[in-house]
Structure 1
């Protein structure tokens, strides 16, 4: 069995992970695979991770197809031990799923897939995002004593990696959002210029014409602007923008 000291020693491995993977889903998938490998000594353990962020889709990651299916089922039902752990910050241990009465729809799916024990451990990342790791064992009564401590220590150490990966992802996503906004602004400005030339009107008047047409046709401003540009023989413009 993986010892507590062994689990502490994998911090360097987590640092290497961040150097190679910048996509948050890839980072979480790699963490889940690492967890499965480290906790599967002498038995099979599967791991899934659920991450919730403001104004972003829920991220479901896993180290195996079995865990992915169970985590997607859990998020689909909107309830389960992993979701409760991430929302409450409490560790949840289910020693035998055959006798568990909470979360009936989800537990029924777990029983169909074969695991007998489940352990959900929250990840400590930041005030706005919540996440948890779900460990599945095919042995009843698992995740007790030393194995429980090892799983919790793994999750606690992995929390730092997830927090750093989130900051990297948020910076990248913010830069991409800004880039898209600038590109959209450029397209709209060119369309406004075309309207000014065609109608011999001011910039403000051209903007109002574009907005009225957008509302009337139930189209986004950028989509309508691209149509206007294409009709005068110009390709939709690109914007040079450095984050």
Structure 2
């Protein structure tokens, strides 16, 4: 039955998106897969439906994924004008439907530029992801009136499915960024600690005195503390006195 087939399709889409979000180590890789899946599920046979995803993080908009170079270009035109249907959809979290760009008076300069690219209809679908972030699914077609009521509902349904996986991907990316920053900080502290130990051994001084020597050398040589520490550790030779830091 049609209803049963639709439920199976929805489940498959959600599973694919969830698995891609969990498995991906790069949010861009995941999102590119998401746009290709959107085109596959929402296009008619033989047509070129274009898809991009605008992600707003700290109020800055960028296309984090697109189904093609042309889709990427169409998204970036909006950023040039700082406004457009898909930016509005992402910023205000509202559905923005442009059945025929030729007849739409909104965004006049943007409209003329996009018409030159051959686009006639646009659909911007909000994707709610929370945590101060927002996104939009951007769909473009060279056919006017392409997004009828059924197409709009399908796109909204897909965006709802994608929102859960996209939210997960953003959280994972943030976690991985934090984890990488923490690891870098720990590595930096470890390197500094090793450098202090080397200076203590070379100069037979206290931990505090060794740290002061390291800071003084960093300042006088105009080199960051962690970089100077890394150089000292790298050049240290246990069989010799190595590079001394004189008091």
Which TM-score band applies after superposition, normalised by the shorter structure? 0.7 to 0.9
Aligned length: 232
Q: Which position in structure 1 is the counterpart of 2:243?
A: none
Between 28-37 and 48-57, report the one with greater CA deviation: 48-57
Match of 2:198 among 184, 194, 219: 194
Residue range with higher mean Cα deviation, 36-45 or 209-218:
209-218
CA distance, structure 1, for counterparts of residue 138 and residue 128 of structure 2: 14
1: distance between equivalents of 2:84 and 2:204? Answer: 62
Distance 1:47 1:17, change over 3 A: same
Single out whichever of 204-213 and 50-59 deviates more from structure 2: 50-59
Alignment correspondent of 1:141: 145
Compared CA separation, residues 225 and 111, structure 1 to 2 (3 A): farther
Call closer, same or farther: CA 1:188–1:132 in 2, change over 3 Å: same
Aligned partners of 1:223, 1:89: CA distance in 2, in Å?
A: 45
Larger Rg: 2
Question: For the residues of structure 2 that align with 1:51 and 1:35, how far apart are their CA atoms?
Answer: 16
Contact 1:191 1:229 in 2 (8 A): yes
1:11/1:190 Cα in 2 relative to 1: closer, same or farther (>3 Å)?
Answer: same
TM-score, length basis structure 1: 0.80
Distance 1:202 1:14, change over 3 A: same
Distance in 2 between the 1:63 and 1:194 partners? 54
How far apart in 2 are the matches of 1:146 and 1:62?
Answer: 23
- Pick which of 54-63 and 173-182 moved more: 54-63
Match of residue 24, structure 1, among 3, 22, 27: 27
Tell me whether 218-227 or 72-81 shows the greater mean CA deviation.
Answer: 72-81
Q: Which runs of 5+ in 2 are unaligned?
A: 239-247
Q: Per the alignment, in what secondary structure is the counterpart of residue 163 of structure 1?
A: helix
Within 1, Cα distance between the matches of 2:103 and 2:229? 60
Aligned partner (choices 74, 91, 94) of residue 90 of structure 1: 94
Partner of residue 37 from structure 1, selected from 40, 54, 59: 40
Task: Name the Cα RMSD after superposition.
Answer: 3.1
